[in-house]
Structure 1
Amino acid sequence: MAAMENLFSGAICGIIYHLCSGQPLTIIGSTGPVLVFETIVYDMCSEFGWDYLSFRTWINFWTAFFLLIITLTDSSASVKYITRFTEESFAALIAFIFIYEAFAKLLKIKDNLQISTLGGGDCECLLNDGNVTANVSECSINSGTYVGDDCYVLYDKFLMSIILMFGTFILSIALKKMRLSGYLPTRIREVLSDFAVIIAIALMTSADIFVGINTPKLTMPSTFTPTYSGRGWFIPPFGTNPYYTAAFAAIPAVLSCILIFLDQQITAVIVNRKEYKLKKGSGYHLDLFVLSILILITGYLGLPIYVAATVLSINHVTSLKVETEASAPGEPQQFLGVRKVFEEIEQRLTGVMTFILIGVSVFMSKILCYIPMPVLYGVFLYMGINALGTLDFFERICLLLMPMKYQPDRQYIRHVPIKIIHFFTFFQIICLGSLWAVKSIKKISILFPIM
């Protein structure tokens, strides 16, 4: 998000993917599990003293090679063995990553608060090396501790960040539900619902500008250059690494291939569920072929790997739902399908337009710099919780605390005893917790794709 070349390359990859791929409703991006794997590889390279970008280039090369073999051997047909259990566990993991990161980033703002004094009293900062300084920025950078009787921490930035984050989240939820409201004309309610997130971002950014508190803002580079000044546009295959690292990269590439295959295909399976009533056929093989070529290109450019983004894709499908306009009082609206552009094109246009707008955004850096980061954390929180709301897994978790007379009328509740449903839910929670634990423990985190 901080680098122009990442935004621009993401837009180009997205456009290529949507023009060539058979999955028009799938949004492409850098997803949570892939970013987790990137962090694991970076830590491994730091431990061995290898150049991360060069080693990563060979991982991408081997990953693309393995994905091409999968495509040519018709191995994508194995997606038929992916059950609802795996789909929802994977989608829930990514949704929880969005929610967790939103709160984790918000709490980090508290570590960079400024200090003031009451009545001109004494207040100093004790640094980790034992030195003392009165420089607020130096104290924040070095995680110093304030000592003195008159130190007064300014919590205005943190409190304003909380307001911006939860304000964005609440506004997005409220405006999204305006479509079902009895207020305002139908057309206005539809516009407010369709552009709920954008309106929420605009309103909370305006509030931040009006109040004038120095909240952390979205940083955008002013020039189109690599974010890291110590590298060029193309990554040298070896750099300072030994030559054997090219062959050794095949080992983590196997794990990367497993992760990308599951990330891409599980998202595609979720999007192609029967309940979404899509008419265009799926293209699992073609999708994987296009992504393998893109992974090879982004590896040599040192850019993030782009695969199907589960949370974004689910929100994309949800935003394109078409439901009955009129229903009896108290009766829920009936889902009819997704919006169609042409008979032969099932919303490929919206995906292409999404990434065209992302590409255009690199020329709007001066405007984007006004957006507070807590507002974006609110968007992440909204996306994570909104994605959870579409999962039967989350509904079954709610059933654990719900008396029988208030339980919804679902097929599985009719045909399966509630004790068996609760046991199944507990087992899925344990599996999800194990997956999170493996991801979080550095010593075994390399096994995350296998889990």
Structure 2
Amino acid sequence: MHWVLAITNSCNLLKYVTKFSCDIFGFYVAFIYLQKGIQVLTQQVGDGPFYLSIVTALLVLTVGYICGVIGTSSIFQRHIRRFIEDYGTPLTLIFFTGFVQIGKMQQISLKTLPVSKSFYPTTDRSWFVPFWNVSASDVLIAIPFAILLTILFYFDHNVSSLIAQDTEYPLRKPAGFHWDIFLLGITTGISGILGIPFPNGLIPQAPFHTKALCVTQIHSDLELDNSKKIKEENNFSHVVEQRVSNLAQGLLTLATMTQPLLAVLHLIPQGVLAGLFFVMGVKALEENGITYKILFMIRDRTLTTSSEPLLNVQRSKIWQFVSIQVFGFGATFAITQTIAAVGFPIIIFLLIPCRIWLIPKLFTDQELKFLDRPTASSFTMISVGGICGEGDGENADRVNDPVIQAYHLDLSPVNDRRSGVLMSVERNKIEYTERFDQEESKRNELPV
């Protein structure tokens, strides 16, 4: 089925997927992580293990979250901050795996990560699932579930790819959505024969991976104060686009199936894993657009900067937009708690036509300009026909800004459709504007 989707260019429908649908799905995934963490804790037997698991999970959440905060703060040297942000969470897991062995805590029997023998299925069977023994009636029964799974993978994998190629990441290499879905069909088939979990893109791991590959640039302009320098540092100059890190992750996953590493993984308490789920869920919620809009609505208006884009929209319209998103999340999350959980991909897929036909009737184009936006840049969406509403995308990445023209900037490299170059031009525009304002203020201070 994945091959049929790839051959028929079904990924062209991604031009209609905006942050509206992605935020709802990301919100749903974040709560699934939080729910999974709670479920792991409730499986602990006895008061001692239950209490220690809760404390450990909350400590992992606290330390893991602090590591992310340090990455965006001004303490330590920037390379140290980046190291803590990228590797703080796995190091936290290692630390608290040993932490529960300190003092009297080692006397408490905690449930740990269950493992099996190396390169051996968890159940008593051979490597290959005996699909040749499946009857024709069972195949017919499985077809509807296969369709639902295909819908889920189509949306989940492509949305995670879109979010991983968000407009904030200055990518230079083009996307390959059709080829990705074709390869996903191959890996899904192999996984089905082996009876292992199906591999596909995930939220929030995919965007976290892209963010970890981003390179920041510091401007050594002496006219800028330190706060401006810190703000510039958080702007990405480019992304290290390569395949080594993905290959390394796959090889490391394969290595964890060997007996030495299986023995090490078996030492990880389930309370630590619950804390990891909490960290992933909280980080996903923190970076979600729904959370951002809710925080904007409850924030003190006097502390809201005048440059906030949402100030251009009536607050009632923002609440209406957020309410629709929360309703979509609630419907998706609710169905997964029932016996009809297998049908939740349909609810997720219906978000696309809802955005195409329903939302434009409730909001004006000017309001949607601030409430919603394309997930990826025009450069990324070229392979699926461009962004809906931007024509054929031929001039989507051309810059026509009076501020840039006023300073006679050379815009010839901008027309190569590389979003990384566009980011550089935008930074140059900001620099020139700030310098111009500073020069004007100095002239005004001179005595007449």
Q: 1:179 to 1:247 in 2, by over 3 A?
A: closer
- Contact 2:169/2:239, CA 8 A, preserved across alignment: no
> Which residue is 2:334 aligned to?
437
Q: Distance in 1 between matches of 2:303 and 2:214?
A: 27
Deviates most, 92-101 or 403-412: 403-412
Which 5+ residue runs of structure 2 have no aligned equivalent?
348-448
> Which residue is 2:99 aligned to?
207
Equivalent in 269, 275, 290 of residue 372 of structure 1: 269
Code of the residue aligned with 2:285 in structure 1: it is L
Deviation of the 1:323 alpha carbon: 3.1
Q: 1:277 to 1:297 in 2, by over 3 A?
A: same
Q: Distance in 2 between matches of 1:171 and 1:409?
A: 34
> Which residue is 2:120 aligned to?
225
Write the deviation string for residues 54-86 of structure 1: whole angstroms up to 9, x where unpaired.
Answer: xxxxxxxxxxxx211111111111110112111
> Which residue is 1:382 aligned to?
279
Q: 1:436 to 1:181 in 2, by over 3 A?
A: closer
5 Å-filtered alignment, 1:180-259, equals: 180-210=72-102, 211-212=105-106, 213-229=108-124, 231-237=125-131, 239=133, 242-259=135-152
Which 5+ residue runs of structure 1 have no aligned equivalent?
1-65, 114-154
Q: 1:82 to 1:159 in 2, by over 3 A?
A: same
Write the deviation string for residues 387-441 of structure 1: whole angstroms up to 9, x where unpaired.
Answer: 2222211111223422322345665413211211111101111111011112212
> Which residue is 1:337 aligned to?
236
Equivalent in 296, 300, 318 of residue 399 of structure 1: 296
**Counterpart secondary structure, 1:376:** helix
Deviates most, 93-102 or 217-226: 217-226
- Contact 1:164/1:378, CA 8 A, preserved across alignment: yes
**Counterpart secondary structure, 2:118:** coil
Q: Distance in 2 between matches of 1:408 and 1:349?
A: 41
Q: Distance in 2 between matches of 1:182 and 1:404?
A: 26
> Which residue is 1:449 aligned to?
345
- TM-score, with structure 2 as normaliser: 0.70
Q: Distance in 2 between matches of 1:84 and 1:182?
A: 30
- Contact 2:215/2:238, CA 8 A, preserved across alignment: yes
Q: Distance in 1 between matches of 2:155 and 2:50?
A: 38
Code of the residue aligned with 2:87 in structure 1: it is F
> Which residue is 1:424 aligned to?
321
- Contact 1:278/1:338, CA 8 A, preserved across alignment: no
Code of the residue aligned with 1:224 in structure 2: it is F
| Residue 6 of structure 2 is aligned to residue 101 of structure 1 | no
Deviation of the 1:315 alpha carbon: 1.8
| Residue 23 of structure 2 is aligned to residue 88 of structure 1 | yes
Code of the residue aligned with 1:437 in structure 2: it is A
5 Å-filtered alignment, 1:303-382, equals: 303-325=196-218, 328-331=225-228, 333-334=231-232, 335-337=234-236, 340-341=239-240, 346-363=241-258, 364-382=261-279
Which structure shows the higher strand fraction?
1
**Counterpart secondary structure, 2:336:** helix
Q: Percent identity?
A: 24
Code of the residue aligned with 2:158 in structure 1: it is Q
Code of the residue aligned with 1:373 in structure 2: it is Q
| Residue 64 of structure 2 is aligned to residue 167 of structure 1 | no
Deviation of the 1:339 alpha carbon: 5.8
Q: Distance in 2 between matches of 1:168 and 1:374?
A: 9
Q: Distance in 1 between matches of 2:346 and 2:257?
A: 37
Code of the residue aligned with 1:192 in structure 2: it is I
- TM-score, with structure 1 as normaliser: 0.70
**Counterpart secondary structure, 1:276:** coil
Deviation of the 1:236 alpha carbon: 1.9
5 Å-filtered alignment, 1:71-150, equals: 71-109=6-44, 112-113=45-46
Q: 1:447 to 1:296 in 2, by over 3 A?
A: same
- Contact 1:339/1:347, CA 8 A, preserved across alignment: no
5 Å-filtered alignment, 1:405-420, equals: 405-407=302-304, 412-420=309-317
Code of the residue aligned with 1:290 in structure 2: it is L
Q: Distance in 1 between matches of 2:72 and 2:136?
A: 62
Q: Distance in 2 between matches of 1:166 and 1:333?
A: 31
**Counterpart secondary structure, 1:440:** coil
- Contact 2:210/2:239, CA 8 A, preserved across alignment: no
Write the deviation string for residues 266-323 of structure 1: whole angstroms up to 9, x where unpaired.
Answer: 1111122222111111100010010001111111111111111121112212323333
- Contact 1:438/1:445, CA 8 A, preserved across alignment: yes
> Which residue is 1:133 aligned to?
none
5 Å-filtered alignment, 1:13-92, equals: 66-92=1-27
Deviation of the 1:196 alpha carbon: 0.4
- Contact 2:37/2:278, CA 8 A, preserved across alignment: yes
Code of the residue aligned with 2:341 in structure 1: it is S
Deviation of the 1:89 alpha carbon: 0.7
Write the deviation string for residues 231-253 of structure 1: whole angstroms up to 9, x where unpaired.
Answer: 221112264x5422223322222
Q: Distance in 2 between matches of 1:163 and 1:325?
A: 40
Deviates most, 88-97 or 321-330: 321-330
- Contact 1:263/1:308, CA 8 A, preserved across alignment: yes
- Contact 1:93/1:432, CA 8 A, preserved across alignment: yes
> Which residue is 1:261 aligned to?
154
Q: Distance in 2 between matches of 1:424 and 1:414?
A: 14
**Counterpart secondary structure, 2:298:** coil
Code of the residue aligned with 2:301 in structure 1: it is M
Q: Distance in 1 between matches of 2:169 and 2:77?
A: 28
Deviation of the 1:200 alpha carbon: 0.8
Deviates most, 316-325 or 428-437: 316-325
Deviation of the 1:201 alpha carbon: 1.2
Code of the residue aligned with 1:449 in structure 2: it is P
Question: Number of matched residues?
Answer: 336
